[in-house]
Chain A
Amino acid sequence: GENVEQHPSTLSVQEGDSAVIKCTYSDSASNYFPWYKQELGKRPQLIIDIRSNVGEKKDQRIAVTLNKTAKHFSLHITETQPEDSAVYFCAATGSGTYKYIFGTGTRLKVLA
């Protein structure tokens, strides 16, 4: 079955710097890759997603890149702000299975 690995587990950056979180998936049939942000005590919420027919997607300060050959995808946050501090999860789901498998999460701390 699908397995998703996520690195790093924790990441501290200075306000204004960029943050990059990387995920690797195992099932080459996976075709949808969302990223979720979870604030303390809250539910996960979608921040950006990408499908397998696209290599990159951007939404203001957030971007996701996908390398299907290497089976990895990354979240890029530019000009980080204190409110970006949270836990970020990547996920992957395969064609025809609809099992959303999550990575282990990255705790991002933006230092003011």
Chain B
Amino acid sequence: NAGVTQTPKFRILKIGQSMTLQCTQDMNHNYMYWYRQDPGMGLKLIYYSVGAGITDKGEVPNGYNVSRSTTEDFPLRLELAAPSQTSVYFCASTSLGGELFFGEGSRLTVL
């Protein structure tokens, strides 16, 4: 099993550009999450999903959108990128109420 796979690992965006961070998991987990981690800071929940077709906001959803059309995939869309969105983004998944498995992270810089 590959676990949780995120792409790209690194990306530089210009202010106002848009992009999608991809996340896929092969563990058949229903629950998937997107977190952002600013330098030297903790993990803030952006969006999460409890199953295909179901998504909900976390602590810091503004400026982001998600979709969950399949169990495996949970892409995160950034519209109109701003410098405040410079961060490391982690995707994670879990089965019912258990350990969160994280991807390796995607480092995004907005200039």
User: Which residues from chain B contact A100 at a C-beta distance below 8 Å?
Assistant: 33, 45, 92, 94, 100
Interface of A is mostly: strand
Q: Does A104 contact B (CB under 8 A)?
A: yes
Tell me the dominant secondary structure on chain B's binding face: strand
Cβ B42 vs Cβ A34 within 8 A: no
Residue pairs across A and B with CB atoms within 8 Å: the count is 51
Q: A32-B97, A102-B42 are in contact. Are A43 and B102 (CB under 8 A)?
A: yes
Is B41 in contact with chain A by the CB < 8 A criterion? yes
Chain A neighbourhood of B99, CB < 8 A: 34, 46, 49
Residue of A whose beta carbon sits closest to that of B92: A100
> What residues of chain A have their CB less than 8 Å away from a CB belonging to chain B?
1, 6, 31-32, 34, 36, 43-46, 49, 89, 91, 93, 98-105
